[in-house]
Amino acid sequence: MILYTLQAVKRLVWLGASLEDLRSWPAEAQRNTGYQLYKIQSGMDPSDWKPMPSVGGGVQEIRIHCDNEYRVIYLAKLAEAVYVLHAFEKKTRKTPQTAIEVACRRLHLLLSQRRRT
C-alpha cells in the first residue's frame, strides 16, 4: 500500500504594491512567477532562488528569467502564509538598494503587526 501525504497549500499575501508591480510584467514573466510561488506555497523550493539576508532572516528572492530579469522577494518561513514583500524588474547586475529598502520596510511592518495580534 502506498500512502501519500498532502501538504496544505499556504495562502499568499501580497504586501504593498507588490501585486500591482507584478501585473505590469509581461504575461510570460507573470506565469512563471505564479508557478514558482505555487511551488513555494506547496512547500517546495522555486527553480532559481537565493537567500536575502540583507532584508531579513528567512527572506528569499525568486529569480525569473524571460526577456528581462524579474525578482520577487518573499518570506515563507511563517506557518500561516507566504508573504510577497516586493516584486520588481531587475535592470542591473546588483539588486538595487531601493528594492532592498522597500522589502525591509514591508518586512518590518509585517513583523510589527504580527507582534500586536
pTM: 0.90
The residue assigned the cell 500561516 is 80
The domain in which residue 58 lies consists of 11-116
The residue assigned the cell 504586501 is 15
Does residue 4 lie in a domain region?
A: no
Give the tens place of pLDDT for each residue, 43-80: 999 999 999 999 999 999 999 999 999 999 999 999 89
Domain total in the chain: 1
Does residue 3 lie in a domain region?
A: no
**CATH code for position 30:** 3.30.2310.20
Element (H, E) at 61: strand 59-65
Q: Which residues contact 96 (CB under 8 A, 6 or more apart)?
A: 88, 90
Q: Cα(108)–Cα(100) distance, rounded to whole angstroms?
A: 12
Does residue 5 lie in a domain region?
A: no
Does residue 21 lie in a domain region?
A: yes
DSSP label at residue 56:
-
